[in-house]
Structure 1
């Protein structure tokens, strides 16, 4: 079976447009509403992580083959052989996000980075197609 590869870039049109909109709104508030500069500065500080992602443009991704699962996200990366994996656990959180956890045969759990994952329906289908056991757990608190 052909390997499945997913990749996500932090520098996207949506991220740039969102930052531009936020900065335009902050400048408009500063200019037309006579907002306090310290307040505008404090609000602008909250956008620094997103601005860093747009400037640095880290890449995250996942590669699923018949033999292994490999992932990368910035400086973090990992690879687990298929023979070591007991199952792929998909946990739905209370915020409706889905987290992926590799449960190894020895009981160890490896949490896959959220930014390196494709949509959970695609991940489940690709894992199942490769014979990997998938468990779904709705609304897990942790």
Structure 2
């Protein structure tokens, strides 16, 4: 992420210096990068831990945990941008969406969940 931001800022600065682009326009183009810069400066971390009886996750200041016995099934939804969102469907018709940034590689995570006896459902290219 640091390299990507450095490349973006380098290109914007080069446009101002070499092509005499309007600095305010380049600053406007840099605005969408501020959340990523903030995460780098804040050193935000995210992760997930799966034990034999518990699923725990954290991302920034948010955290959560579920007992595996509470989970009816896990659902992996592949979106149109090829990202995979994971939702835990609990007994009693509640659902908990796991934060995207805390999820490990989805194929490995799916196998780990199945090894612990959980049912995993996959939906490909869903709209919602």
TM-score range, shorter-chain basis?
over 0.9
Q: By how many angstroms is 1:56 displaced?
A: 0.5
Q: By how many angstroms is 1:45 displaced?
A: 1.5
* TM-score under structure 1 length normalisation: 0.87
Asked which structure has the greater RCO (Cα within 8 Å, sep 6+), the reply is: 1
Give ranges in structure 1 of 5+ residues lacking alignment. 1-14
Distance in 2 (CA, whole Å) between partners of 1:112 and 1:105 is: 16
Give the match for residue 43 of structure 1.
Answer: 29
Q: By how many angstroms is 1:66 displaced?
A: 1.1
Give the match for residue 30 of structure 1.
Answer: 16
Distance in 1 (CA, whole Å) between partners of 2:34 and 2:77 is: 30
* TM-score under structure 2 length normalisation: 0.96
Q: Secondary structure at the match of 2:24?
A: helix
Distance in 2 (CA, whole Å) between partners of 1:25 and 1:91 is: 36
Q: By how many angstroms is 1:119 displaced?
A: 1.0
1:106-117 alignment runs, 5 A limit: 106-117=92-103
Distance in 1 (CA, whole Å) between partners of 2:81 and 2:30 is: 25
Give the match for residue 98 of structure 1.
Answer: 84
2:126 matches 1:140: yes
Q: Secondary structure at the match of 1:83?
A: helix
Distance in 2 (CA, whole Å) between partners of 1:133 and 1:80 is: 15
Distance in 2 (CA, whole Å) between partners of 1:22 and 1:78 is: 34
- Which runs of at least 4 in structure 1 moved beyond 4 Å after TM superposition? none
The CA RMSD over aligned residues, in Å, is 0.8
Give ranges in structure 2 of 5+ residues lacking alignment. none
